[in-house]
Amino acid sequence: MARNIRFREALREAMVEEMERDDRVFLMGEEVGHYQGAYKVSEGMLDKFGEKRVIDTPIAEGGFTGIGIGAAMVGLRPIIEFMTWNFSAVAFDQILNNAAKLRQMSGGQFNCPIVFRGPNASAKQVGSQHSHAMEHFYATIPGLKVVAPAYPSDAKGLMKAAIRDDNPVLVMESETLYSVKGEVADDQDAVPLGRANVVRQGRDVTVVAYSRMTHVAMDAAAQLEKEGVSVEVIDLRSLRPLDEDTLINSVEKTHRCVMVHEGWPYGGVGAEVADRIQRLAFDALDAPILRVATLDVPMPYNAKLEQLCIPQPDRVVAAVKRVLYRGQA
Amino acid sequence: MAKILDMPKLSPTMEEGVLTAWHKKEGDEVNVDDLLAEVETDKATMEFRAFDKGVLLKLLVADGAEVKLGQPVAILGKAGEDISALVAQTGTAAPAAPAAPAAQAAETSAPAAQAAETSAPAAQAAETSAPVDRAAETSAPSPSGGGLGRGNANRPAEPRARGSLLDRTAQEGAPREANGPRTAEGRVFASPYVRRAARERGIDLQGAQGSGPGGRVVARDLDAIGNGAPPLPNPPPKEEGAGAQRSTEGAGAQRGTEGAGAEGAAALVRRGVGVPATVGLAEPEIRPLSMMRKTIARRLTESKKNVPHFYLTIDVDVEKLVQFREQINGELESAGANGKSRDKSEPKPPRVSVNDLLVKACAVALARVPECNAQFTPEAILVHQRIDISVAVAVPEGLVTPIVRNADRKSVVAISGEIRDLAGRARAKKLRAEEMQDGTFSISNLGMFGIDGFAAVINPPEGAILAVGQVRDEPIVRDGNIVAGKKLMMTLSCDHRVVDGAVGAAFLAELRSLIEHPMRIVTG
């Protein structure tokens, strides 16, 4: 059986089930306990597991991230919540230099089985400092795994896989997805890391997205279908490791690719995807790979300008037409 | 119908050649197998002969031109035939001077490259001046995108997109000229997918006008082109290799300048070679690489890099061998002298050298230790059932290794005559490529240069090479007494993947025994 539940509920279920299964797992972060979570993801968890396993921290990301990493080194399996990923910038040194490096630097004597999670990328009018798509920074770091689910079922499955993995895994959620509902199987188990999902089959063009942009891509695909364009949509789910096979198989079929993500166009996950495809499927390409990304500016606060900067379905449609050489010489 | 003659592959390793001299000129009748031209390849000067009959309508390269494999060199057809289309196709107006026809073609026939250069500043300016970088999507304004990216959005879409693409190519140091087919107007632009499809379906893209930006041929154009155009006369040979080739070819431009003024050439070579311009130090004399020098450099580097060499040295008493040789030569001389009515003009009877005897001795030893007559491959060791000995011959430009086939089955006198013939033709650059291919073992002898002993580099894919020094007068101990004797030092270089130390030693033991009992060399 499946239930129709919200994204935040799916995340919570994953954490609760894993904490019930394994008493080494605990949750730590700002407002995760008594306030029931800044976005109510951890609602009810303090009551259920008590203060030893659901730990409210001061506003000190560098500190509690480091404490989490230390706990992971000595055998616990922490889940560290960032109120938003923007604040992880304060803890960047811990993630980059400790979480990602300890296993290698200790010659395998230490594992770092830790999960970092929180909402990522734009929300609604939270300004230039709180709208960052941080996954691009983290996905470039060897030693980390980065996932970005788009649907409640994957949110639950990837969160479970993240908690069970013996490496640091970063789960990129989205404020604007927390209330999105979706079918989640009663027995939804871990979704393997590093596997993309073809969420819509198509013939003419491959649109690659993840997290909330998967929904934007799906909207664009529905619009394009009315115009006779058959769009295949790939939800990456895992940004690192990256599922090359699914990308290449799709582009071998469609010969065209548009990448959609939040975050700036310079470098990043989209550039990485474009590199893999042109390198591994060069002869399959009928057009340059285009990227639809957040415009190359600090995010404006103004609501209209903000929406202008964030990729929208119409921009995806325009890019798809461009790789199809539609409406131009 | 007239056809283009391409530079053929005249040796198995040939990638380019210098067309040293045409033997036919424009307007000449050509019959099948007529000598068209001589071509200096990496191995030797080869004959380029006609496969078809007809009239040589046009020469596309001049004497002395360096020509890539498959590059058009001439047009053959019927007298008076209109060949303007073919000439246009080759992109060459007149026989190109020795100075780099390829480079010239790139300069003259690439308006695209020029366009890239002129449009690049615009693209650059756009990138540096605009605070908003919409490079990800490039160009076209989206309905909602009018406001912020105004500067870019108003720019015409295509020139920028194309300019920036080409510009990027240039930045990465890739060749500006195309690898693909050309038209008189320049390069055919086609998507990678279209090129692959054209390869697979045998569609000729030459002259194709695509419906994509800048005339790019894209997938939707394929069917129209496939129906309209004739199939490719032969599959495009260089699509894949060309890029890689070019990148390794700082030498290409450099070689082509040989015919130019010395100073210009030197300057170009310097640029190509990267000679540091040290102030106050005399500049080196620059000697462009010959085809043979390039081959030697490539093959021997390959050998030393990939083949794990080890060396076994023996110092052999050759007193009996030297005596035996004198005996043979005495016999040959008297046989010649006693021969009926010996003509004065008849050349002196050939003499057998120590090296000839060593070649035969090696052949016999290899027959007894076939493990040294073997070749490594990743899958298996190939133990040869023939004994074909490569003999290194010094020539003015370097060295070549002609082969004495089945040396174990030939007499010493026959081997001697064959080596004399091969060495003579090697110096005259008249060896055929197949006479230098597929040896199974090598001998290199520097005795005539006064070298006592040395270690040679294995000649791949062979498994071993024997380096032979000079015969030395040495005190040796015989029956407890020190007496004057003769010694010869030889070093066997072995490919350890094929030949182990004990195997190499067994071969050298056989060789020593043969040399010390030289009659066994001829009795097998």
The predicted-structure confidence for B299-327, as pLDDT tens digits, reads as follows: 999 999 999 999 999 999 999 999 999 99
Sign of CA dihedral A269, A273, A276, A279: negative
Cα–Cα dist A247/A235, whole Å: 10
The one catalytic residue in A130, A244, A252, A272 is A130
Cα of B293 vs its chain's centroid, Å: 10
A161 Cβ contact list (under 8 Å, min separation 6):
A147, A169, A190, A191, A192, A193
Name chain A contacts of B143, Cβ cutoff 8 Å.
314, 318
Cβ separation A308–B213 shorter than 8 A? no
Interstrand relation of B35-40 and A257-260 (parallel, antiparallel or unpaired): unpaired
Query: How far apart are the C-alpha atoms of B393 and B371, rounded to whole Å?
Result: 25
Q: Residue B434: is it exposed, middle or buried by C-beta count within 10 angstroms (0-12/13-18/19+)?
A: exposed
**C-alpha–C-alpha distance, residues B169 and B187, integer Å:** 15
- A319–B135 C-beta distance less than 8 A: no
The reply to whether ipTM tops 0.90 is no
Query: What does the DSSP assignment read for A58-127?
Result: -S-HHHHHHHHHHHHHTT-EEEEEPSSGGGGGGGHHIIIIIITTHHHHTTTS-----EEEEE-S--SS--
- Which chain B residues touch A284 with a CB distance below 8 Å? 192-193, 196
CB-closest option in B144, B165, B194 to A312: B144
Residue by residue, DSSP assigns B182-216 as EETTEEPPB-HHHHHHHHHHTB--TT---SSGGG-
Rg of chain A, C-alpha, whole Å = 20
Q: What is the rounded CA–CA span in Å between residue A257 and residue A320?
A: 8
- Which residues, including other chains, have CB under 8 Å from residue B347's CB and lie 6 or more apart? none
Distance from CA of A296 to the nearest CA of B (A): 5
Among the partner-chain residues A285, A318, A319, the one whose CB lies closest to the CB of B192 is: A285
Proportion of chain A above pLDDT 90, given as a percent: 98
Task: Evaluate the CA torsion angle B219, B220, B221, B224 in order and state its sign.
Answer: positive
Mean pLDDT, residues A201-208 taken together: 97
The residues, any chain, with a CB within 8 Å of residue B123's CB and separated by 6 or more, are B160, B163, B164, B167
- pLDDT for residue B268: 41
**Cα gap B269→B250, rounded to integer Å:** 9
Query: What is the Cβ-side half-sphere exposure of residue B235, based on CA atoms within 13 angstroms?
Result: 9
B191 and A308: CB-CB below 8 Å?
no
Average pLDDT over residues A6-32: 98
Cα–Cα distance measured from residue B255 to residue B294, given in angstroms and rounded to the nearest whole number = 11
| Minimal C-alpha gap between B173 and chain A (Å) | 17
Which residue shows structure tokens 């499809």? B197
Of chain A, the end-to-end C-alpha distance in Å amounts to: 52
- Give the three-class secondary structure for A190: coil
Q: Which of A252, A273, A283, A317 to mutate to test the interface with B (most CBs of B within 10 A)?
A: A283
Nearest to residue B270, comparing CAs of B252, B256, B283? B283
**Per-residue b/e over B107-145, b at no fewer than 16 CB within 10 Å?**
eebbebbebbeebbeebeebeeebebbbbbbbbbbbeeb
From residue B47, alpha-carbon distances to B177, B427, B434 in Å are 31, 17, 13
Pick B211's closest partner by Cβ from A293, A296, A325: A325
pLDDT band at B286 (very low <50, low <70, confident <90, very high): confident
Q: Is A251 on the interface with B (CB under 8 A)?
A: no
Pair of tokens at residue B196 = 């692959």
Residue range A135-140: mean pLDDT, rounded: 98
Find the mean pLDDT for residues B144-161. Answer: 39
Q: How far is A146 from chain B (nearest CA, A)?
A: 23
CB contact under 8 A, B192 and A284: yes
Query: What value does the mean pLDDT of chain B take?
Result: 75
A286, A297, A315: best to mutate for the B interface, most B CBs within 10 A: A286
- B166 interaction partners in chain A (CB closer than 8 Å): none
Find, among A192, A184, A133, the residue nearest to A159 by Cα. Answer: A192
A233-242, A261-270, B212-221: which has the minimum mean pLDDT? B212-221
Whole-angstrom Cα distance, residue A314 to residue A187? 37
Q: How far out from the chain centre does Cα B410 lie?
A: 31
Residues of A in contact with B212 (CB under 8 A): 287, 325, 329
The pLDDT value given to residue B346: 58
Q: Which of B137, B145, B194 sits opposite A286 (nearest CB)?
A: B194
Which chain B residues touch A if contact means CB-CB below 8 Å?
A: 131-140, 142-145, 147-149, 157-158, 165, 191-196, 211-213, 218-220
Cβ A295–B193 below 8 Å, yes or no? no
- Please indicate whether residue B384 is annotated as part of the active site: no
- Residue B438 pLDDT exceeds 70: yes
Average pLDDT over residues B458-470: 95
Residue with tokens 């993995």: A165
Among partner residues A291, A307, A329, which is closest to B137 by beta-carbon distance? A291
- pLDDT tens digits, one per residue of A3-18: 999 999 999 999 999 9
Compare CB distances from A287 to B133, B148, B191 and report the shortest one's residue. Answer: B191
The pLDDT of A66-90, averaged and rounded, is 98
Which of B127, B132, B137 is best to mutate for the A interface (most A CBs within 10 A)?
B137
Q: Determine, for residues B194 and A293 on separate chains, whether the beta-carbon distance falls below 8 Å.
A: no
Q: pLDDT higher for B226 or B384?
A: B384
C-alpha distances in Å from residue B349, one per residue of B209, B357, B419, B427, B429: 71, 17, 15, 22, 25
B144 with A319: Cβ contact below 8 A: no
Q: What is the DSSP letter of B353?
A: P
- With CB atoms and an 8 Å threshold, state whether B137 touches A319: yes
pLDDT of the residue at B112: 41
Query: Which residues pair with residue A169 across a beta bridge?
Result: A115, A145
With tokens 């073992």, the residue in question is B441
Of A229-238, B57-66, B382-391, minimum mean pLDDT range: B57-66
CA nearest neighbour of A281 among A271, A273, A291: A273
Extended strands (E) in A180-281: 181-185, 197-200, 205-209, 231-235, 238-240, 257-260
- The confidence band for B208, taking pLDDT boundaries of 50, 70 and 90, is confident
Candidate list B23, B309, B384, B496, residue with the active-site label: B496
Q: Does the beta-carbon distance from A291 to B136 stay under 8 Å?
A: yes
Instruction: Name every chain A residue with its beta carbon within 8 A of the beta carbon of B132.
Output: 295-297
Nearest to B219 among A255, A319, A322 (CB): A255
Nearest CA in chain B to A284: B193
